[in-house]
Amino acid sequence: MKPISSRRARAVIVALAAGSLALTACSKNEGGDSGTDSKKDQNEASVQSKAVTYADAAGSTGPAEDVAGAKSGGTINVYQEAGLSHLDPGQIYVSDAGQVANLLFRRLTQFKEDGKGGVSVVGDLATDSGQSSDGGKTWTFKLKDGIKDSNGAAITSADVRHTVERQYAKFIFDGPTYLQTWLSGADYRKALPDGGFGKKHLPASVLDTPDDKTVIFHFDTARPDLPQTLAMAGYAIVPEKTDTKEAYDKAPVATGPYKIVSNKVGKELVLEKNTNWDPKTDSVRHQYANGFDFQFGVTESTQTKRLIADQGEDKNAIQLTGAVEATQIQDVIGNAAVNKRTVKGYQPYVMQLTFNLDRVKDLKVRQAITYAVNSKSLIAGEGGAYGGDVAPNYFAPTLPGYEASYDPYGRLKMPQGNIAKAKEILKGVPAAEKKVVFAYSNSEAGQKRKVAIEDALTKVGFDVVSKEVDSASYYEQIGKLNNPYDIYITGWGQDWPSAGTVITPIYDGTQVADGSSNYSHVKDPKVDGLIKKALSEDPTAAAATWKEAQHYLLEKVLPAAPLWYTKQFQLSGSNIGGARYGSVSSLIDITRLYVKS
């Protein structure tokens, strides 16, 4: 799961997140730890590696447990710097849209948190988290009774089939691809070129819907992670009769507790209650507020100032994926009343300086840049110890298999960069190869990152040409195979607790395509072989294979320079109730908020 292109991480999530659907350590809302003890933070983050449990029908039955003290009514204001790149569920793989998706859309399954770091997968539209057979190759889901979209139309298995099949269409290019590739291989689009909009459909031997309430997936190998995959925002249901293809991105139909009233792209998104959402069918979400007003174009520094001041409508406001702006962190932690209104926690994202291998072909250039980059300066722009920690490798502390001491480029010893080593490597490299085009987001955070990257690389002799990219479409632009950039900062976090959800999406050579998350365009036979091997192994054996893949990638291929691990530090207004850090979204848990008065 990739993060949004501004300061805080998708997903991905994500991401997820996430969407963010990556799982991270849980942090207490009231008071919380300071976040300045990195070793302690990383130990707390390791709760991520706990196994996610799969719930039965009882655990999937609504309504969700009430939030203590919750009240109904009021509107929650949501501040965000960049606009949303997508609202079509099939295109959602970034944490900002993933947060909105938690209010608007339902999936077959969903993650449920206990507030103590424990996470389970429950049936969302399905009666449970799924029933597997045939050694995990076949999965069956039964739909709950009384499920409707915001138009009042019943959701049936035909809508689930349509949701899956439309993922094969060419206009869906920015979302997750796990399910499609598992069902139809890396060239899945060839299996259903029109995305199911014509007369052709996936055969029953792949996807079967024998009646209105039953959905059966057939895979050629065991897919034990399917319940977690289907919980991603990217697989939320799109009702067949209301699908407008490309236009759906601007006006999707809701299945969750809220629906869209108006959408002024890049400016404002207004939600109100979806009266066709039945809380008795939903064990995760709530519908306390009358609505949400998402306001875009509000910089992180402005968000922070307004939320610290806590006046008027700002009392009813939250940050979406943004965080306390770095220069104002002391103003927050130094005021007990304000600090009490924060949520803090480790995120699953590893921020990297990614190389476009189609353009930066010389390994020496990539090595020199990796030694030169200044993680210390970059992290300072994120808020110092509150914003992140130095990343020596590609695996975050939240990921099973994390190696805290694996540091092949000496990042932990010299977080400010090893200028002498970088200069030594560059000796003999032609001047033409020292000119690099750096893409950066046109956000406050992007500007800070630009300065840090230019400063570090210029010191060792690089000619850096910086190109500004719109923050809302940042990942879309760098996701184009023929993009005109040599280097760009990206972030990725696991979609669930498995290194396979890190290595596969961003380093699998079969996934080099427009819109793919393989931003470096890695095509390495050994990496592809290790991915294939790990995906066929039991978790213990696979962990060793994923470790081997990371070491080979970082030491021999070097598709990206690891920079920092992200942390979240968000602020909300004094009239917001129910705020806590979400161990699934790695952001404020937007599903449980209410207005106090």
pLDDT at 39 (0 to 100) = 60
Backbone angles phi, psi at 54, to 5 degrees: -105, 120
DSSP 193-204: TTTTSSS----T
Q: Yes or no: say if 166 and 158 are a contact pair by the CB < 8 Å rule.
A: no
Q: Yes or no: say if 152 and 162 are a contact pair by the CB < 8 Å rule.
A: no
How many whole angstroms separate alpha carbon 481 and alpha carbon 483? 6
Residues 6+ apart with CB under 8 A from 540: none
How many whole angstroms separate alpha carbon 115 and alpha carbon 27? 9
CA atoms within 13 A on the CB side of 104: 30
What is the pTM assigned to this prediction? 0.82
Instruction: Provide the token pair at 6.
Output: 């501004």
Residue with tokens 């992670």: 225
Query: Which amino acid, residue 393?
Result: N
DSSP 405-429: T--TT-TTT-TT--HHHHHHHHTT-
Residues 6+ apart with CB under 8 A from 364: 425, 426, 429
Q: Which residues of the chain have pLDDT under 70?
A: 1-51
pLDDT at 8 (0 to 100) = 33
Q: Are strands 594-595 and 268-273 parallel, antiparallel or unpaired?
A: unpaired
